[in-house]
C-alpha cells in the first residue's frame, strides 16, 4: 500500500490527502433536506446526508487526488448508522482507486490492539470463515502505550501489506503539554519518532516504510528534525489551511526525492463552498468548489516545493 500511495502521489503530482470529516453543518441545506424528506430527521437521515455529501465530493475530486482520510469520530458520533456510512465511504473510495487512511487514532495493548487491527485492516475468523471489516488501507495509531500497543498493528499490516501513521507531534496548540517535554534535553516527540523509525524497519516497502508518522504542519521546525530522525517514514501532515499551516512551511517534511510527506486538508476542501474565495460556485455546486480547492491546494504546495 505504501508503494501504491507513492505511485498515486507521483502520477497525480499531488502529495495531498482529502480529509472526509463531514459535520452536518458543512452539508448544504438542499442535501440535508432531501435526505430528511426520505428518512426523516433520524440517524438514518443524517447518515444519508453524509453519504450523498461524501459521494459528490469524491466524484468531483478522485481523479486529482491519491488519497482520502475519513475521520471516524465524525461518523461514530451518529452511532451504528454513522459507522455504516464510514464503511460505505471507505468502500466507495477504494472502488475509485483511492488509498484510504482511516483516521481512527486507536491504541491499546496486546490482544486488544490486535482486535482493532483486525477490525480496521485485517480479517476476523468466525468458525471456518473469514471476513474483512472496515478494511482501510492505512490507519492512524496512538503510541502512548508503547511497543506492546503498536506491534499487534504491525503484525496485521505485514500480513495484509497495509500501513500505519503513528502520532508523533500533533498539530494542535496544547500538543506540547506532553509531547514537547524534555527528556535528557530532547523532546518526547523525538523519542517517539525514533521508535517509529525503528518500528518501520520491520515492514519496508520499496523506498519507504509502511509505518509512517503524523506530524502537524503547524510545527515546521519540529518537522525538520523529525524528517531526519525518520528518513524512511512517510509523514502524514495535518494542520494545513484551516488550522494555520502554510505551504512554505511544508518543505521540511519532504525528502530530497520530493517524497516522504502527504498533506491533509479537511474543511478547506470539503467545505470550500463556504469560503469567500469559492462563494461564486454557490451552495448547489459545493462539489465543484471542492474540486477547485483541490486544484488550488496542489498548486500552492507544488509551488512552494518547486515541484
Catalytic residues: 105
Closest CA to 26 of 285, 303, 273: 273
Q: Out of 79, 97, 244, 303, name the contact with a copy of itself by CB under 8 A.
A: 79
CB 37 within 8 A of CB 75: no
Q: For residues 7 and 181, which CB has a smaller minimum distance to a copy of itself in the complex?
A: 181
Smallest separation, CB 128 to a copy of itself (Å): 6
Region 169-188 residues binding a copy of itself, contact defined as CB under 8 A: 170-179, 181-184, 188
Site string for a copy of itself, 260-289 (x = CB under 8 A): ------------------------------
CB 16 within 8 A of CB 266: no
CA atoms within 13 A on the CB side of 253: 33
Q: For residues 85 and 304, what is the distance between their CA atoms, to the nearest angstrom?
A: 36
Q: Out of 4, 23, 91, 202, name the contact with a copy of itself by CB under 8 A.
A: 23
Q: Is 26 in the site for a copy of itself (CB under 8 A)?
A: no
Q: Is 41 in the site for a copy of itself (CB under 8 A)?
A: yes
Q: Is 82 in the site for a copy of itself (CB under 8 A)?
A: yes
Q: Out of 13, 95, 131, 201, name the contact with a copy of itself by CB under 8 A.
A: 131
3-class state of residue 243 by DSSP: helix
Q: Out of 3, 7, 30, 110, name the contact with a copy of itself by CB under 8 A.
A: 110
Q: Is 74 in the site for a copy of itself (CB under 8 A)?
A: yes
Q: Is 159 in the site for a copy of itself (CB under 8 A)?
A: no
Q: Which residues, other chains included, contact 178 with Cβ-Cβ below 8 Å and sequence gap of 6+?
A: 188
Smallest separation, CB 288 to a copy of itself (Å): 25
User: What's 110-170 look like in SS3?
Assistant: HHHHHHHHHHHHCEEEECCEEEECCCCCEEEECCCCCHHHHHHHHHHHHHHCCEEEEEEEC
Smallest separation, CB 207 to a copy of itself (Å): 28
Question: How many C-beta atoms surround the C-beta of residue 173 within 10 A?
Answer: 10
Ranges of H-type helices in 170-285: 176-179, 188-201, 220-229, 267-270
| The three three-digit cell numbers of residue 249, written as one number | 512551511
504542519: which residue's cell? Answer: 217
Q: Is 107 in the site for a copy of itself (CB under 8 A)?
A: yes
Q: Out of 3, 13, 125, 280, name the contact with a copy of itself by CB under 8 A.
A: 125
The single-letter DSSP state of residue 292 is H
Question: How many C-beta atoms surround the C-beta of residue 2 within 10 A?
Answer: 27
Q: Out of 4, 34, 96, 105, name the contact with a copy of itself by CB under 8 A.
A: 105
Q: For residues 49 and 298, which CB has a smaller minimum distance to a copy of itself in the complex?
A: 49
Smallest separation, CB 206 to a copy of itself (Å): 29
Q: Out of 38, 59, 95, 148, name the contact with a copy of itself by CB under 8 A.
A: 148
Candidates 89-97, 111-119, 254-262, 282-290; binding stretch for a copy of itself (CB under 8 A): 111-119
Q: Which residues, other chains included, contact 171 with Cβ-Cβ below 8 Å and sequence gap of 6+?
A: 216, 217, 218, 219, 238, 239, 243, 245
Q: Out of 53, 134, 240, 253, name the contact with a copy of itself by CB under 8 A.
A: 134
Amino acid at each position: 500500500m505504501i508503494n501504491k500511495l507513492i505511485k498515486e502521489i507521483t502520477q497525480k503530482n499531488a502529495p495531498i490527502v482529502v480529509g472526509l470529516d463531514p459535520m452536518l453543518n458543512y452539508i448544504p441545506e438542499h442535501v440535508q433536506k432531501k435526505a430528511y424528506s426520505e428518512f426523516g430527521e433520524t440517524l438514518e437521515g443524517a447518515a444519508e446526508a453524509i453519504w450523498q455529501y461524501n459521494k459528490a465530493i469524491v466524484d468531483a475530486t478522485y481523479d486529482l487526488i491519491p488519497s482520502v482520510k475519513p475521520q471516524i469520530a465524525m461518523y461514530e458520533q451518529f452511532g451504528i448508522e454513522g459507522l455504516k456510512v464510514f464503511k460505505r465511504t471507505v468502500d466507495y473510495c477504494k472502488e475509485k482507486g483511492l488509498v484510504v487512511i482511516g483516521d481512527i487514532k486507536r491504541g491499546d495493548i496486546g490482544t486488544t490492539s490486535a482486535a482493532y487491527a483486525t477490525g480496521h485492516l485485517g480479517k476476523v475468523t468466525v468458525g471456518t470463515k473469514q471476513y474483512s471489516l472496515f478494511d482501510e488501507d492505512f490507519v492512524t495509531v496512538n503510541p502512548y502505550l508503547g511497543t506492546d500497543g503498536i506491534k499487534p498493528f504491525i503484525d496485521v499490516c505485514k500480513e495484509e501489506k497495509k500501513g500505519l501513521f503513528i502520532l508523533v507531534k500533533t498539530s494542535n496548540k496544547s500538543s506540547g503539554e506532553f509531547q514537547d517535554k524534555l527528556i535528557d534535553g530532547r523532546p518526547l516527540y523525538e523519542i517517539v519518532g525514533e521508535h517509529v523509525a525503528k518500528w518501520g524497519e520491520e515492514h519496508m516497502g520499496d523506498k519507504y516504510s509502511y509505518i509512517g508518522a503524523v506530524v502537524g504542519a503547524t510545527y515546521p521546525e519540529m518537522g525538520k528534525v523529525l524528517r531526519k530522525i525518520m528518513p524512511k517514514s512517510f509523514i502524514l501532515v495535518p494542520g494545513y489551511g484551516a488550522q494555520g499551516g502554510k505551504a512554505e512551511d511544508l518543505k521540511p517534511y519532504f525528502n530530497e526525492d520530493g517524497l516522504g510527506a502527504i498533506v491533509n486538508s479537511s474543511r478547506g476542501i470539503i467545505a470550500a463552498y463556504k469560503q469567500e474565495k469559492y462563494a461564486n460556485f454557490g451552495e448547489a455546486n459545493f462539489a465543484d468548489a471542492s474540486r477547485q480547492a483541490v486544484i488550488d491546494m496542489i498548486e500552492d504546495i507544488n509551488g512552494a516545493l518547486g515541484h
